[in-house]
Amino acid sequence: MTNRGRVVKFATGNLHKFKEAQAILFNTGIQLEMVSAKTMEIQSDDLTEVAVASLRDARSREHGPLIVEDAGLFVESLNGFPGPYSAYVNRTLGCDGILRLLADSRGRSAEFRSAIAYTDDDLRLRVKTFLGVVKGRISDEMRGQRGFGFDPIFIPTGYDMTFAEMGVEEKSQLSHRARALEAFASWYLS
């Protein structure tokens, strides 16, 4: 099956995230259409709450099937920091900042989480959420040129490469975003 099936809008201002999501859903029959939108992002420790609030904001401008995704890196020894504040932390501290925070730490366990919120035309009747998680650890240094965000410092469990060292196909088979999008696609197409 090709991706010439149902069209779902994806509200995001992040072209990298959109292209990754598009590649993940390519063979599902779901065709993503990017709605370049800077959505309101509430301050919350819960990714799902952030995604649902962003969805409600995007819905005020867009109609039809719509998804919003919010993701975060949760570092165990930093008590889950940066978590849902990952985009801000990436802009201000970057990968180098996280590595400095962990310089004297032996605990490098971390996980990436992705929360997707979906609605069709009637926001009051139907908001579904999907969560994807991938466990791993923070590397000792930045490695790789692919990906975006914290990809150069995240090594998924069972691998020796960071997400930024993997090709799009390999990352798309195991990432947090892939898991959340696959859960969405399975529900949406059933």
Q: Where does residue 103 rank: exposed (0-12), middle (13-18), buried (19+ CB within 10 A)?
A: exposed
- Which tokens hold the place of 26? 């390519």
Contact 187, 165 (CB under 8 A): no
Task: Work out the burial of residue 91: count CB atoms within 10 Å of its CB; fewer than 13 is exposed, 13-18 middle, 19 or more buried.
Answer: exposed
Both tokens of 111, joined, read 């996980």
The C-alpha atoms of residue 72 and residue 67 are separated, in whole angstroms, by 17
Q: What is the number of other CB atoms lying within 10 angstroms of the CB of residue 174?
A: 17
Is residue 70 annotated as part of the catalytic site, yes or no?
yes
Q: What would the two tokens of residue 134 be? A: 């991938």
Residue with tokens 């240094």: 141
Catalytic residue among 45, 46, 57, 70: 70
Active-site amino acid positions: 70
